[in-house]
Amino acid sequence: MEELRLSKRLAELGLCSRREADEYIAKGWVKVDGVVVDVLGSKVLPSQVVSLEPAAKATQAGRVTILVNKPVGYVSGQAEKGYTPAVALVVPDNHWEGDTSGIRFVPPHMRDLAPAGRLDIDSVGLLVLTQDGVVAKTLIGENSNVEKEYLVRVTGQLSSEGMKKLNHGLSLDGKALKPARVSWQNENQLRFILREGKKRQIRRMCELVGLEVVGLKRIRIGRVLLGDLPPGKWRYLSATEKF
């Protein structure tokens, strides 16, 4: 069996992100077969038992994930072209009063808060910001298979063949897209359920079948719903919610 870097093995097991793994290893918070390993770059066999010390788990427990109902005009990641990043909405005044997580806002919750997935500047709805590397890996890791659901208002005529292609048969950037689930929600709105998230994917898919997107809203990621969260407001992901 081929040895793997310990940090990569920790990430593969879903115990933490690779960045977090290096931090935990350096602090002596990782054990291999019951023995602490604190040397960065250490390697392990897939058959060896890798575990985290309680201190690492306590650190993870203190990390938060925040759900934002992103309005039009905000970018999901870094500020660009004068537009404001969605993380700027995460201030006490915008904390949704319907939040049932029981978590009280403290300034450290803003530290290293990063988007786990993109949502275009002209799209609205559910955006995830997280400090938790495990959550980020679940949603945007290369092997992520988490569903994202969207309501998409369109103009133009969609043929039955076009609908078939939206569900499976289109390619972007020279690569075939994974099968999707696309259906009519009403006479001018489609429901898209995807398991991938290429840049402006839905808009580009629609263009390929003769449709123009005039409104796009993400309403679900995995088992987590946008629900009644108002535009511009945010709430914490509760301990009972899982993607």
Q: Give me the active site residues, please.
A: 120
What is the three-class DSSP state of 69? strand
Question: Whole-angstrom Cα distance, residue 206 to residue 74?
Answer: 23
Q: Check: CB of residue 148 under 8 Å from CB of residue 30.
A: no
Q: Check: CB of residue 128 under 8 Å from CB of residue 139.
A: yes
Buried b (16+ CB within 10 A) or exposed e, 170-182: beeeeeebeebeb
93-96, Cβ contacts within 8 angstroms, sequence gap of 24 or more: 94/232, 94/233, 94/234, 95/233, 95/234, 95/235, 96/229, 96/230, 96/233, 96/234, 96/235
What is the three-class DSSP state of 14? coil
Burial of 80 per CB tally in 10 Å (0-12, 13-18, 19+) = exposed
What are 159's two structure tokens?
């043929």
Can you tell me which residue has the tokens 């040895």?
3
Which uninterrupted H or E stretch holds 224? Answer: strand 224-225
Question: Whole-angstrom Cα distance, residue 125 to residue 120?
Answer: 10
